[in-house]
Every structure is written in C-alpha cells, then in structure tokens.
Amino acid sequence: MATIGLTHVRRPRTTAHRASRGVGRTALNLVLVAVAVAWLVPTIGLFITSLRPLGDSTSSGWWTVFTNAAGLTLDNYSKLLSNSTITNSLWNTVFIAVPATVLVVGIAALAAYAFAWVDFRGRTALLIVIIVLLAVPLQTAFIPLARLFGAIGIFGSVVGVVLFHTAFGLPFAIFLLRNTFAQLPYEMIESARLDGASEWQVFTRVVLPLGMPAVASLAIYQYLWTWNDMLVALIFSNSQSQPITVAIQSQLRAFSSNIDVLASGAFLSMLVPLVIYFAFQKYFESAILAGSMK
C-alpha cells in the first residue's frame, strides 16, 4: 500500500496580517521608549542642574534650559573638585570599594572551588551555614561589630568599613561562585588532576578561566554595591573616612544653598558606576548566555 506523505503547507501571509504584526511591534517599541525616557528623565534633570548656576537652579526648574541654554557652565564641577571634603570623600570611596571588592572576590573564589571540587569533612554543613548567613540582615551586626571595631581601634576608619563589606559580601559571593564552579564538567577537572596538576593549578588554569564571566560579574556587582553604600559608611566612618555618599548626605542640611554642590556631586558619584557597568557589560552578557546554555 502506498503511503501518502502529508506536508505542511504554509499559508501566505496576507497584507492585513503583516500590518497587524507591524502595528504590534510599533506599539511595543513605543512602550519601551516611554519607559526608557521615564527612567532617564531624573538623570537628565540631575545632569542639567549640575551645569546651572545656583541662582538659576533656585529660581526656576531645570527644564527651562531647553528655552535658554546660555546659562550652562562647568563652574559647579570646578568648585566641587576644589572642595577638599568632596575630593577626600571620593578618594575614600575608592579606598573602600576596591579593597572590599578584591577581598570578596578573591576569598570567595577560593572558597567556592573548595566547596565545589575538594572533598573535606564538614563541607555540606559549612555550606549550609554560609547559605543561612545570606538571610542575616545588616542591622543585626551594627552594634556588635561597632563594639568590636572600637575595642581593636578601627572604628571610624576605612579599614572598618572595608572589613564590614567583606564579611557581609562573602556569603552571597561564595554561594554564587560555588554554583558556577560546580557546573563545570567533572571529566575536565579529573583530567587535569590525572595529568599531574595540583589543586592550585586546577583552580587557576581550568576553573577560574572557565568561570571568569561569573567572577567578573560578581566583582562588578560588589564594586557597585560598595560604591553606592551609605548605611554602613554612615555608621562605621567618620569625617575623615567618609565616602562620597555620606559627604553628599551631609550637604543636605543646607539644601537651598548647596544645590550646586549636591547636583554635581551626585552626578559625579553616579557617573563612575555607570562607566564601570558599560565598560564591563560584556561579562554580564557572557554570564547570562552561559547560564542559559546549561
């Protein structure tokens, strides 16, 4: 008996069908543009305000610049960079964010490799403890750590802020990197070991390069979190070690007379994380694509 193969006949798309799909895409694009504009309006307003003289900012809204753009100037940034309090706070922010990021990523990568590929006694119990620490809020450690830092003489210093961020950044970092490293092929790790590679060589030459997207993403997140932090720095720093977020907050007491400093300082504080994010955006994309391929 002969069998007749049934083939799927694709109906030609009509003009009405193509028009409806085009209208749907146009509507979606308009919604996305509207959302993007809504998100960008505060940033644009802050940037324009940072370029306006103090008199103009206190007498009219920033949107009036579109009818009179002649008053824009860079004097606010010149005054800001000549303000020793602001410049010192910017350096303090760098001295806090960079070490806190390096310590968290370095310690977490080593610990994550041990939890993923090294068999030792109590590994599961210790990993559960680290996971439980993810649920511990920052506020519960303020008073105990403030007393501890005061007893050892680092309260109010950059070192104290760095240690706090490192301690509370490690649980999430270890959990994230451990899950990433554990997804690597078992045969690859064992092959490296059979070839005579030590655990350090397996970590640095096999695991770390393959997990670099996740490591880089963690470093960026940790850096941005530390850079934008104000709560921890407000408690554990003083006037000599305060970061830019605390320095800007202290200027709010005289908002009307310091709006030029506030606007330029806030935009400068926001500019650094944006530059870092867009400079290393490819690592976010690599990490997302790697996760989708598992």
Give the pLDDT of residue 152: 92
CA dist 124 and 130 (Å) reads: 10
CA dist 15 and 18 (Å) reads: 5
pLDDT along the chain (294 residues), means of 10: 50 58 74 85 84 76 75 81 85 93 94 89 89 86 91 91 93 92 88 86 89 88 89 88 86 65 83 79 60 46
Nearest to 246 by CA among 259, 261, 234: 234
Give the pLDDT of residue 292: 44
Q: Which residues pair with 218 in a beta bridge?
A: none
Give the pLDDT of residue 293: 46
Q: Are 206 and 189 in contact (CB under 8 A)?
A: yes
H runs (alpha helix) in the chain: 15-50, 54-59, 75-81, 84-117, 123-133, 142-152, 158-182, 186-194, 199-202, 208-210, 212-228, 231-236, 244-251, 259-279, 281-293
Q: At what angle do helices 281-293 and 212-228 cross, to 10 degrees?
A: 130
CA dist 189 and 279 (Å) reads: 32
